[in-house]
Structure 1
Amino acid sequence: MKMISRAAATAVSSALIFGGAVIAASPASAVGSSACDYRPAYSPVTKATTTVNLRNGPSTSYYSKGLLTKRVRFDKLCSRNNHLWFYGKVLDGPNRGKWGWVNGHYLRER
């Protein structure tokens, strides 16, 4: 019985360690402003034109960090792929304060 308990404890410990490694590795794959290929001297605050994903990187292959609903303000820092994707900070709503990438098709100047 003790052998089974030790084996179970070892398995659980290993799973927790492995799971922690996966969780710890996830933010390392985040793509921040270092992925930008254009940084304007000035960029006006924009608003989402519809509900849109705030992504971890500049394409739909990156995971969503949350949603920006219509009229949520987004402060653009820089862009990528000929202004198709913008990196910036969410200024309103439930994701206020988060940084991420938004597709420029869904952003308009105020």
Structure 2
Amino acid sequence: MRQGLMRKGIATAVATVALFGGAVITAPTASAATHPKCNLDEPDANYYKIRGNGVNFRKGPSTKYGSYGLLSKGTKFTYYCTKTYPEVWWYGKVTSGPHKGQKGWVRADFVTY
């Protein structure tokens, strides 16, 4: 029984590839929006908000990196991925306020739902 199901699955896959002229079609990966400095990719379509005033929006995942500017309380932020050591930093895109559309880094403890 198990071999029959396996053969049927393989036959279906071969037929699908033949149908598309031998090309294998894949969906775009969620990691397209991530960053090479991330070590944990968990893209999340939900909006988060900055939970304090004067939060640095940085060029990299530590205080060693320069700031693009300050984010104010309530600024919306879309999360893409995380750098987890030694502190937790989130990489994402600002979706409201003066930095709208810009990608960068925020320390995770300054972000809330």
Counterpart for residue 79 of structure 2: 76
Are the aligned partners of 2:43 and 2:79 in contact in 1 as well (CA < 8 Å)? no
1:55 counterpart letter in structure 2:
R
2:97 counterpart letter in structure 1:
G
Counterpart for residue 45 of structure 1: 47
Counterpart for residue 100 of structure 2: 96
Q: Secondary structure at the match of 2:41?
A: coil
* Runs of 4+ that moved beyond 4 A: none
Counterpart for residue 26 of structure 1: none
Instruction: Report 1:22-37 matches (<5 A).
Output: 33-37=35-39
Per-residue deviation, 1:41: 5.0
1:95 counterpart letter in structure 2:
H
TM-score normalised per structure 2 = 0.64
Aligned-pair identity (%): 36
Counterparts of 2:93 and 2:58 in 1: how far apart (Å)?
A: 11
1:87 to 79, 91, 98: 91
Question: How large is the RMSD of aligned CA atoms in angstroms?
Answer: 1.7
Counterparts of 1:103 and 1:41 in 2: how far apart (Å)?
A: 16
Counterpart for residue 7 of structure 2: none
Are the aligned partners of 2:43 and 2:81 in contact in 1 as well (CA < 8 Å)? no
Are the aligned partners of 2:44 and 2:78 in contact in 1 as well (CA < 8 Å)? no
Q: Secondary structure at the match of 1:34?
A: coil
Q: Secondary structure at the match of 2:49?
A: strand
Distance change (3 Å), C-alpha of 1:65 and 1:39: same
Structure with greater helix share of residues: 1
